[in-house]
Amino acid sequence: MSMSFSGQVALVTGAANGIGRATAQAFASAGLKVVVSDVDVAGGEQTVDLIRQAGGEALFVRCDVSRDAEVQALMASVIEAYGRLDYAFNNAGIEIEKGRLNEGSEAEFDAIMGVNVKGVWLCMKYQLPLLMAQGGGAIVNTASVAGLGAAPKMSIYSASKHAVIGLTKSAAIEFAKKKVRVNAVCPAVIDTDMFRRAYEADPKKGEFAIAMHPVGRIGKVEEIAAAVLYLCSDTAAFTTGQALAIDGGVTAM
């Protein structure tokens, strides 16, 4: 058992920044060819540039994961470029709520569910045949600690991440005998551009977010990336259908 990926191919959605970028870089550093995808073209291309500057191999493909035709085109681009797909990290997601459940709009609901749930479903729908064609592989989906419990003033987002875990577990059982493992990572608050903007806008909320973690800090994008690589590796060969909390102890309280 090892974490050797030399010569294999990984796809990362939502890879223009944050967790997605860090994971794409980690895959490349481990020897994989990486397909970087996002709706943010400038950010996605910057991720590719960073990988190439470090000696890795990567390709950017723009994709809105909530659109069936674009997801199909993304998978076709993966095969056209590299001829195979071994691992997928379905990380694209949005969080746009600003109030209580009764204050949300239908547009917010449709947007969040479209990217966070439909996007993961579409990606897995078209990734699974490619992985099975290789004799197996691994998928990791980004859920959240908000998918493991309540998230006040983020009810739609929380529901979407509960749904991601449901998709993850169901796919894991359906494709276990096909040698495709499917797991999810469930981060708590992570040090991303989004968190920094929120902290700058309201330092008190930022300080509360830090204090809610028993370890006394928020997480790092590299820590999520390391977990994704572990779940894709042969070291995790007996692990499937799991929602791994990477949360500094939040869900243990």
CATH of residue 159's domain is 3.40.50.720
58 within some domain: yes
3-state secondary structure of 241: coil
Query: From the candidates 82, 126, 157, 230, which is the catalytic residue?
Result: 157
Structure tokens belonging to residue 96: 């746009």
The domain of 104 spans 9-188+223-244
Any domain includes 196 = no
Residue 177 in any domain: the answer is yes
Q: Would 2 be classed as within a structural domain?
A: no
Q: Based on the structure, what is the number of domains in the chain?
A: 1
Has residue 235 been placed in a domain? yes
Q: Is residue 20 part of a domain?
A: yes
Asked whether residue 200 is domain-assigned, the answer is: no
What percentage of the chain carries pLDDT values higher than 90?
89
Which amino acid is located at 175 in the chain?
F
- Beta-carbon neighbour count of residue 202 at 10 Å? 10
For 36-48, write each residue's pLDDT tens digit: 999 999 999 999 9
- Does 24 reside within a domain? yes
Per residue in 159-179, pLDDT (tens digit) is: 999 999 999 999 999 999 999
Q: What average pLDDT does the structure give for the chain?
A: 95
- Per-residue pLDDT averaged across 213-236, rounded? 97
Residue 241: exposure state from Cβ atoms within 10 A (0-12, 13-18, ≥19): middle
82 an active-site residue? no
Q: Would you call 200 helix, strand, or coil by DSSP?
A: helix
pLDDT at 155 over 60: yes
Residue 1 binned pLDDT confidence (cut-offs 50, 70, 90): very low
